[in-house]
Structure 1
Amino acid sequence: MNSLKLYGARDLRYEEAEKPRLVDGKDVIVKVKACGICGSDMSRYKKMGAHTPGQVWGHEFAGNVEQVGEEVTSLKVGDRVAGCPALIDEDDYYYRAGQPARADSLSAIGAKEPGGFAEYIKLPEKNFVKVPDDLDFDSASMVEPSTVVLHGYYRTNLTVGDDVVIVGAGGTIGLFAVQWAKIFGAKRVIAVDIDDEKLQIAQELGADYTINSLNEDVLVKVAEYTDGMNADIVVEAAGTPITASTVFGYAKKGGGVVFLGIPYADVAIERFYFEKILRSELTVWGSWSCVSAPFPGKEWSTTIHFMNNKRLNTEKMITHRIPLDKGPKMFERLMERKELIGKVIMYPEK
């Protein structure tokens, strides 16, 4: 079958891979109809390289059920599904405690096990969630990044009437954070990014105000847009050392910051920003993965519901649709950053 395999930093190859086969009675094989490039994929592609050199990569995908094991009861051949990439040992203490996102054994497909950048993928039955017939596969392949955001918001005390600042609002996670904040009932959503074109998309998806941090003072503008109070909730979705070290300055006293982005580098916090945690008595929430109990969690069913009723708009987020064999060149284009590239959806089937 056709696939994309990651061998090392900036070494992604379009190659043949062995088609998966049923081994366990709970196995399900899915024919991948659409798969997406994640921001975390770019970090690994650029800096970290392959977890397992030559492994089929990718963790955002959707498709049709092709085969089911003899013990599978919830799925049948032909069902449309989105795939949860989290792999967890069911004997793990945190999994048994109903906290799968904290499991020591938690890993993701595309690392040790084959991922979704391929024509077919095999996972346990529990890792697939049915999607309605009228939800397109492009959207279904984006259920996973939406669940990452929703899992983070569930960690907070966000409520109707709150003001929310989203840093890194132009990426997939940030744009979902904008939309979910509105669904949760946020009064004012303030999108912060360094790209005016992406900020325009954030505004089209519900952001009330936008701030380009390259040429505007974010501290000043956030205060201006919130009547001098700052935000109830600040979302760090950029995943850079700079943004991770400064987001505390945008929260109101008694407010909170939730971290969704992954810096992949050391974070040094200036005293001014660190003291905001203390002097403003902030709550800081870490958020990891996209799952809860019962696995994979209400993040998945809730996302599918709001995608299906069009409260979550994925179409404005997608800028490129390409065949899978163009994937390596697309990753290089993403590295160059010479053009607006939002969500990229790839299609394994020629």
Structure 2
Amino acid sequence: MREDDHISREQCDRSAHYRSVHGSSSRNPAPHPLSPCRRERGPLRRRPSFKRRWQQRSWWVRLLLSLLLALACVLLLAVLLGSPDPDTSPSTSTASSGSEVTSSPLLSQILDYVGAFIMPCGNCFYRVKGQEDLCESFFMYNRAKGTLYDGETRLFLRGNGKPVYMYSMGGLAEYCVVPANALAVLPDSLPYTESEILGCVVFTSYGALRHAAEMRPSDSVAVIGVGGVGSSFICNCLQIAKAFGASQVIAVDVLDEKLQNATTLGATHTVNAANDDAVERIKEITDGRGVDVAIEALGKALTFSQCAKSVRDGGKAVMIGLAATNVMGEVDITHLVRRQVKIIGSYGARARQDLHQIVKLAESGAFNLQNTISRKCKFEEANGAYEDLNHGKIVGRAVVEIME
């Protein structure tokens, strides 16, 4: 520190005395109230810069701080990128549940796992946007080509080595290969067979309520078409709606048997669309307004229109039913614009963040998995089960059990 960096009290006094005798001028202006000469806290010292202070530290202190900073960056990067996408995890089950995952270094323990039918790569554009249920690699490779995200399959026939391609997780295959991003550990407290629906219909319904509808406590919900996906929604995701705080849950279908099943499992109201006008009935139940959230679960033009008309002003119509190719739904554009009705499509949920939450909900008793499953069949009976499903003979959900 230089000598002129210190201004003593005596120098301040002399300066003040000189100005009191000779007066102030442009050459000798009066000291500013905040000038050093006005301060009475001793000599003024200049604070060293950050760069100067950093250079004055011991080399080992600088090294330690640099290492800590590097470690923090690595941890932050790991959180942002999520789990790496290891090659595989062989599993023994149907489309949504597996066990004895041993080949992946990330999943080295012998545990039971439940898998989501949407398997995100964890690296694409939509992952950054927080919409990994739209994963580009999943639709480009798995759905379009039946491969994993390197464009290759891991399954081959024993006899001739011919490659076997898979749709989603493998369906009715005894073994399948899936990215670890699509798996969650299945706790011992949950039933193995019944938990297979967690990564399928529950996964779909959770995404519709949590992300598409952004459901709030006290919202009223209508499910139009409780057969197919809708019946399982009523069976257990209705209970998710209850867990989210739904005030009313209205089930709409054309079969009394399915509506009775929905009532048994917690629906507050039912509407038989074969006997009543579904839209008018829903509005009667909701004091003429319509529901906050309507779910369409069949993928038909008629139910699409009913869903859009059933919501209140500012409400949300969420479509989760898949339709045949080129099926078009009609909507009143003027009503949509003036009444701020929102029509949203929803295909599934986000495996890495949602699947674990779904398992926790099931473990907490938010819904009863065993009451959701209406039929269990062996592998040899799978064709008959699909025929019954095609003819609407299955109420609830059927599960194909594959045992070694």
- The Cα RMSD (Å) is 2.3
Paired AA for residue 364 in structure 2? N
The 1:327–1:214 alpha-carbon spacing in structure 2 relative to 1, beyond 3 Å, is same
- The aligned length equals 292
Contact in 2 for aligned 1:135/1:308 (Cα 8 Å): yes
Q: Work out whether residues 229 and 297 of structure 2, in 8 Å CA contact, stay in contact via their aligned partners in 1.
A: no
Does structure 2 conserve the Cα–Cα contact (< 8 Å) formed by 1:170 and 1:193?
yes
Residue 218 of structure 2: which of 161, 164, 181 is its match? 161
In the alignment, what sits opposite 1:311? 366
Structure with the bigger RCO (C-alpha within 8 Å, sep 6+) is 1
1:301–1:156 CA distance, 2 compared to 1 (3 A): same
Distance 2:368 2:229 in 1: 11
Q: CA–CA distance in 2 between the matches of 1:334 and 1:269?
A: 24
Say which of 130, 133, 144 aligns to 1:98: 130
Alignment equivalent of 1:62, drawn from 80, 97, 103: 97
3-state SS of 1:106 partner: helix
Gaps of 5+ in 2: 1-84, 148-165
| Aligned positions of 1:97-176 closer than 5 A | 97-107=129-139, 112-113=146-147, 114=166, 115-144=170-199, 145-154=201-210, 155-173=212-230, 174-175=233-234, 176=236
Q: 1:76 and 1:348, CA in 2 relative to 1: closer, same or farther beyond 3 A? A: same
Report Cα offsets for 1:78-128 as digits up to 9, x if no partner: 201001232444542223443212233323579714303122222222222
Identity %: 24
SS at match of 2:99: strand
Q: Within 2, Cα distance between the matches of 1:103 and 1:86? A: 8
Q: Residues of 2 paired with 1:27 and 1:118: CA distance?
A: 15
Structure 2 distance, partners of 1:26, 1:103, is 17
- Return the letter of the residue paired with 1:287: S
Contact 1:239–1:260 at 8 Å: present in 2 too?
A: yes
1:1-350 aligned at under 5 Å gives the runs 26-32=87-93, 35=94, 59=95, 61-69=96-104, 72-73=105-106, 75-107=107-139, 112-113=146-147, 114=166, 115-144=170-199, 145-154=201-210, 155-173=212-230, 174-175=233-234, 176-270=236-330, 273-291=332-350, 296-337=351-392, 339-349=393-403
Q: Say which structure is richer in helix.
A: 2
By how many angstroms is 1:269 displaced? Answer: 4.5
Identify the residue that residue 19 of structure 2 maps to in structure 1.
none
2: CA distance, partners of 1:203 / 1:111: 42
Report the TM-score when normalising by structure 1. Answer: 0.76
Deviations 1:187-234 (Å, cap 9, x if unpaired)?
Answer: 111111122111122112221000111111112211111111111111
In the superposition, relative to structure 1, how do residues 239 and 95 fare at CA in structure 2: closer, same or farther (>3 Å)?
Answer: same
Which structure carries more strand by proportion? 1
> Distance between the aligned counterparts of 2:318 and 2:194, measured in 1?
25
Output the amino acid matched with 2:280: V
Structure of higher CA gyration radius: 2
SS at match of 2:137: coil
Of the structure 1 ranges 242-251 and 84-93, higher mean CA displacement relative to structure 2 is found in 84-93
Q: Equivalent residue of 2:399, what SS?
A: strand
Judge conservation of contact 1:178–1:191 (CA < 8 Å) in 2: no
Does the residue aligned with 1:133 lie in a helix, a strand or coil?
Answer: coil
Aligned 8 A contact 1:170 1:201 in 2: no
Q: Does structure 2 conserve the Cα–Cα contact (< 8 Å) formed by 1:179 and 1:312?
A: yes
Matches of 1:109 and 1:130 in 2, distance apart? 25
3-state SS of the aligned residue for 1:181?
A: helix
Find the aligned partners of 1:233 and 1:97 in 2 and give their Cα distance.
24
Give the 3-state SS of the residue equivalent to 1:235 in structure 2: strand
Deviation at 1:166, TM superposition (A): 1.0
Structure 1 gaps of 5+ residues are: 1-23, 36-58
